[in-house]
Amino acid sequence: MKKRINPLMLCAIVAMAPFSLNAKDIHHGVHNTVTDSVIASQRTSLAKNTKNVGFGPQSPRDIDALTGKNERAFNSAPTYKKMNLCNIHFHKNAEHKGGEFTLYAGNGDGHGYQSGYKYSSKLSKSELKLTKNEACQSKHGGLSSGDTIEVHYVYSTAKVKPGPTLGSCLSDSIKNPQLRVETQVYVLVNDKNALNFNILTKHEVVNGLHQATNIPSNTGTPIQYAGSTTGPSYNEKGSPFQVTWSVRPKVAKVNIASLNDWCKGNTFNEDHAHGVRNLVINPDLLSKISK
């Protein structure tokens, strides 16, 4: 049964979601690369539009940089095992920087596509062998062997079940639930023995709560920090929603064919990789990370 959600709140959530459904963020066909000045201008606008108006800490960020000056009051969300999984989606290239994903992919088109960070270690020739077709092809483009993706397993304290968009994280009973994103960066390889994306995204009810049961546990101690929702629609304005992030620093290899299979049909109606928000580097918009 479909939940009834306040239309205004749903519009706000979808607009600020880690993935964007805004047409202006989507460019079909060839992706042009913008100059450094375009990204610098976006960062200047972000600083101007958030100065002295009370925005909390923002995301994504460099998880290896622990400093930050934003001290807005922020209670961390519970461990994800005490929350409900509400959405899974992924971005092409890592939104976050750090750990094993530090190779800058470039500025991209200025709207979140072809930018972000890549897996910085080497892959074998067989792993990089191109498949016959790109994975998750759509009008938004596709993915090839060697590409990096950042997967967001989104959790909510509301009584909800997994579904499409961050609207699935809300309920009529709780319009402002706490949100947590368990984050794992993967690199796509042409290897049937690599991890299966369908298994990585498997979810079921555990102790009365919806859970993703196969989030990797061997990719390093997650970096926990206070941040926000992401997505390219927030390159020049602040996200008003608070999120507790948990970002694993090591990259896992995924069989590209299994991702392609997942994109053909899943609970979340995901069929393509979403664009990324510029890395937030303004210390006034970053929380301090405690290790």
Counting residues of the chain whose pLDDT is more than 90, the rounded percentage is: 80
The pLDDT of residue 199:
98
Is 67 inside any structural domain?
A: yes
Is 291 inside any structural domain?
A: no
Q: pLDDT, tens digit, for every residue of 49-69?
A: 999 999 999 999 999 999 999
CA 131 – CA 108 distance, rounded (Å): 24
Mean pLDDT of the chain: 89
Q: Which two tokens stand for residue 59?
A: 């995301």
Is pLDDT above 80 for 3?
A: no
Which residue range is the domain that position 25 belongs to? 7-285
Instruction: Report in angstroms the alpha-carbon separations of 248 from 96, 156, 241.
Output: 10, 19, 22
Average pLDDT over residues 274-288: 97
Is pLDDT above 90 for 141?
A: no
The pLDDT of residue 134:
85
> pTM for the whole thing?
0.89
Is 98 inside any structural domain?
A: yes
Is pLDDT above 80 for 167?
A: yes
Of the candidates 187, 181, 32, the one whose C-alpha atom is nearest the C-alpha of residue 115 is: 32
**How many distinct structural domains can be found in the chain?**
1
Is 112 inside any structural domain?
A: yes
